[in-house]
């Protein structure tokens, strides 16, 4: 089983749609969770951290379910500029080297 | 604010050759990382470093060597390049927090 699993998509949605991505992780000791965004042929960049109580940043809402080891990202009112690959990221709980484990990513295309 | 840079951005080399990918960051971050990204595998950690002169293996270290004599530099060397090492290589850094900042990547092709 992969440490972090995501539906690879692709998700093709019209502008203005709401889309949700899901992710599961295998290590119950993980403490830090993130969503990164990666545009085509570019480096990954942090989109948002995911907190236990859930958090929102504009049109983006992230939620964490520790019992199910499940993370989600909801994008409302999709824009063309949201087209990218979204990476679910979880810390490796062992050691202090700030290691992260990246999911393979979910590809989103927002259509005009 | 230069941030984190990688060079070269593109490299074509032949099987068996040694090649070094450079990574430089201007933030004085303690931690630095090398990843490779391939279709179907996502980002996989090759090596990481917690500080100057401290390095350790990641998930896929075979065929790679790293060094970190200065905090700001973290070169990655392929001692004898193989076709399976054709990939996009990303360097990243972080300080005490968990967010990692990535360089623009190096696209390496081994023929």
Q: What is the pLDDT of residues B40-97, one digit of tens each?
A: 778 999 999 999 999 999 999 999 999 999 999 999 999 999 999 999 999 999 986 6
What 3-state class would DSSP assign to B84? helix
Mean pLDDT to the nearest integer, A63-79: 96
Euclidean distance between CA atoms A56 and A59, whole angstroms: 7
- Name the residue in chain B with its Cα closest to that of A97: B50
Q: Does A34 lie at the interface with B, CB-CB under 8 angstroms?
A: yes
CA atoms within 13 A on the CB side of B102: 23
pLDDT at A109: 97
Mean pLDDT to the nearest integer, A69-86: 97
Q: Does B12 lie at the interface with A, CB-CB under 8 angstroms?
A: no
Closest CA to B31 of B74, B62, B60: B74
- Tell me the pLDDT band of A4, cut-offs 50, 70 and 90: very high
- Tell me the pLDDT band of A39, cut-offs 50, 70 and 90: very high
Q: Mean pLDDT lowest for which of A25-39, A86-100, B4-18?
A: A86-100
Residues of chain A in contact with residue B48, where contact means CB-CB under 8 angstroms, are 97, 99
Following CA atoms A101, B108, B55, B46 in sequence, which dihedral angle do they give, to the nearest 10 degrees? 30
Lookup: tokens for B5: 């840079």
pLDDT at A99: 85
Interface of B with A in 69-98 (CB under 8 A): 90, 94, 98
Q: How distant is the Cα of A6 from the closest Cα of chain B, in angstroms?
A: 11
Euclidean distance between CA atoms A91 and A52, whole angstroms: 14
């Amino acid at each position: 089983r992969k440490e972090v699993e995501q539906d690879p998509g692709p998700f093709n949605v019209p502008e203005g749609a709401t889309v949700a991505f899901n992710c599961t992780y295998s290590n119950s000791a993980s403490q830090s969770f993130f969503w990164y965004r990666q545009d085509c042929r570019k480096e990954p960049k942090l989109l948002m951290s995911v907190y236990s109580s859930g958090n929102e940043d504009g049109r983006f809402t992230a939620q964490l379910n520790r019992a199910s080891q499940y993370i989600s990202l909801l994008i409302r009112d999709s824009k063309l500029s949201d087209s990218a690959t979204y990476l679910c990221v979880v810390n490796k709980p062992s050691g202090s080297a700030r290691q992260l484990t990246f999911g393979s990513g979910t590809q989103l295309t927002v259509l005009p | 604010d230069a941030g984190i840079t990688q060079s070269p951005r593109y490299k074509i080399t032949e099987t068996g050759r040694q090649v070094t990918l450079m990574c430089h960051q201007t933030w004085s971050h303690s931690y630095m990382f090398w990843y490779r990204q391939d279709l179907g595998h996502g980002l996989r950690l090759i090596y990481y470093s917690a500080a100057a002169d401290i390095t350790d293996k990641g998930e896929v270290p075979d065929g790679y060597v790293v060094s970190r004599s200065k905090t700001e530099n973290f070169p990655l060397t392929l001692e004898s390049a193989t076709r399976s090492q054709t990939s996009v290589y990303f360097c990243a850094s972080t300080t005490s927090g968990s967010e990692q900042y990535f360089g623009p990547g190096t696209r390496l092709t081994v023929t």
